Each structure stands twice: as structure tokens, then as C-alpha cells.
């Protein structure tokens, strides 16, 4: 069985989140969960492509971590788009994707050894975090004084996660959460994880870290879906688009861009390299 490693969401041509991409195969879910373990990646994406319509091919995606299947994965979608574009040998590749019974548009542009990929995140649901959510997450994150408690938001694309604002990028990099406590808190509240980010600059640039121990990923190198959630949240505060840098604490730089569109749908993406 051929496994392709795609480094998704590169920053300045470097880093990115290594993602295992495979064509759909007759595997059990238990076997699918073994793929990221065997390949040393956080996620694996299984791709079933139908290229019958060359003008708008279709592809179905399934995402797995070692802990189980996910309804969606943003950097996994970027990796899948790069994989599909490379296999099609087309400089401009547009496709209708399907994941968890949702169909959405994706596209990729090949050039200079890298692929630029973007997709429609779908509608983002936003609300202020409850008192209970704030208390348990703050306990797990250590009550850092740089955490801007009033800005904590519950955001969902398929599964909810908390967006937690910190005052500076330095505070984001220096945060040391209690992973066991955070996993227990997320399990109890039904959360995917906790996306910690700095306040955006005037140009919409910021730093972020995604903690998701409940799905077997203590810290994600890149998390595009949570970045899409943040873009939707910040759009209501006059920030039309953002560029988020992640992975610095892990020594693997990554970057994701996102811009909100009408209806709280977000166009999100990044650069990828097929290894």
C-alpha cells in the first residue's frame, strides 16, 4: 500500500505538518488508525477520487488520528488537495470535496515544487464560552495572566473547540498546559481541543498553538480548521483576513491563511509539498 507524505501548511517553503495521504482501501477503522502511528504523522487522510468529469472532478476524504476518525481536518484537506493536484498533473486543479456528508469546493495551484491549496471551511458556529468552559480550561492552561479571559470563544466546524486569546506571541510560545488535565476537561465538555492565539497585528498576523490531547494530538503543528474558526470570530471585530504562524514550539514552522466570507464561511489554506 503506497503512502504519500505531504508537508501541509509550509512557512516560507519550510516545515509544515507531515500528513499521510493514501488512496481509499479496504481497511478497518482500527487499521486506519494505525497508519499515522506507523508513518510518524499526527493524521492520515484517505482519498477516494472520481476524475470522470475533468472540468470538476470529485473526491471523498476520511481523516484519522491514532485515536479515531475525525469529521474534518483542515491541514489534512490541504494535504489531500496537493496530493490530488500532483496526481492529476494539472497546474490549476479544482475539485468538489466531500467529507462527513458535506460537499465543498477546493482548489490547488502547482508551481516551483510547492502547491498552494485552499478550500471552503463551511459555516462556523460561534458563541461566548460558558463559565464552566472558562474555568476548566483556565485551570488546565495554568491561569496565565496573559490570557484575555473575556475573549474566550466556543467555535465549531463539525466539533467545538475553544479559542483562547493571549496578549502576545511570546506568551503563546511560552504557555505550558497540563495535557492530562486539558484532555480530561475537553472530554468532559465534548471539546475537540483548545486553540491558543495572540492578538492579531494591524496586518492580521498572529501566532497560535492547538492542543488536542483528546484526539491523540497533544499539540498540532498546523490546524487550519481552528484558524478558520478564528478568522470567522475576528471578522466580527473588523479583521477581514489573517495569517497564522504555528509550530514554533515544536521546531516545525507552519503558516495558514484564512479570510471570512458572507455567512461565516471561511476560505482557508496554505502551501504544501509532496515529499
CATH numbers and ranges of domains, the chain:
4-120 (3.10.310.10), 125-269 (3.10.310.10)
**Per-residue model confidence (pLDDT) at position 107:** 96
Low-confidence ranges of the chain (pLDDT < 50): none
**Per-residue model confidence (pLDDT) at position 265:** 80
**Per-residue model confidence (pLDDT) at position 53:** 67
**Per-residue model confidence (pLDDT) at position 152:** 95
**Per-residue model confidence (pLDDT) at position 119:** 97
- d(CA 10, CA 265) in angstroms, rounded, equals 23
Count of H helices and E strands in the chain? 6, 17
| H-helix or E-strand spanning residue 164 | strand 159-166
- d(CA 268, CA 120) in angstroms, rounded, equals 7
**Per-residue model confidence (pLDDT) at position 200:** 96
Look up the pTM and report it.
0.94
SS3 of 182, please? helix
**Per-residue model confidence (pLDDT) at position 262:** 65
The cell numbers describing 161, all together, are: 473547540
Cα-based torsion angle of the residue sequence 14, 18, 24, 29 in order, rounded to the nearest 10 degrees: -160
**Per-residue model confidence (pLDDT) at position 101:** 85
Amino acid at each position: 500500500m503506497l503512502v504519500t507524505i505531504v508537508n501541509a501548511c509550509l512557512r516560507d517553503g519550510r516545515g509544515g505538518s507531515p500528513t499521510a495521504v493514501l488512496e481509499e482501501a479496504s481497511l478497518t477503522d482500527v487499521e486506519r488508525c494505525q497508519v499515522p502511528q506507523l508513518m510518524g504523522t499526527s493524521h492520515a487522510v484517505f482519498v477516494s477520487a472520481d476524475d470522470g468529469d475533468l472540468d470538476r472532478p470529485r473526491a471523498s476524504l476520511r481523516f484519522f488520528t491514532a485515536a479515531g476518525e475525525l469529521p474534518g481536518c483542515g491541514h489534512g484537506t490541504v494535504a489531500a488537495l496537493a496530493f490530488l493536484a500532483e496526481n492529476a498533473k494539472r497546474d490549476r486543479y479544482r475539485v468538489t470535496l466531500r467529507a462527513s456528508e458535506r460537499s465543498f469546493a477546493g482548489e490547488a495551484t502547482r508551481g516551483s515544487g510547492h502547491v498552494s491549496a485552499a478550500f471552503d471551511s463551511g459555516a462556523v458556529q460561534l458563541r461566548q464560552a460558558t463559565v464552566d468552559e472558562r474555568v476548566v480550561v483556565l485551570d488546565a492552561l495554568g491561569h496565565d495572566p496573559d490570557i484575555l479571559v473575556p475573549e474566550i470563544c466556543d467555535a465549531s466546524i463539525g466539533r467545538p473547540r475553544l479559542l483562547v486569546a493571549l496578549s502576545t506571541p511570546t506568551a503563546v510560545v511560552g504557555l505550558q498546559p497540563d495535557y492530562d488535565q486539558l484532555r480530561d476537561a475537553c472530554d468532559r465538555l465534548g471539546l475537540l481541543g483548545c486553540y491558543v492565539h495572540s492578538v492579531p497585528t494591524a496586518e492580521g498576523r498572529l501566532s497560535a498553538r492547538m492542543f488536542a490531547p483528546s484526539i491523540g494530538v497533544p499539540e498540532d503543528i498546523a490546524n487550519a480548521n481552528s484558524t478558520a474558526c478564528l478568522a470567522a470570530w475576528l471578522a466580527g471585530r473588523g479583521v477581514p483576513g489573517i495569517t497564522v504562524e504555528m509550530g514554533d514550539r515544536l521546531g516545525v514552522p507552519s503558516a495558514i491563511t484564512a479570510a471570512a466570507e458572507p455567512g461565516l464561511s471561511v476560505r482557508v489554506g496554505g502551501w504544501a509539498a509532496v515529499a
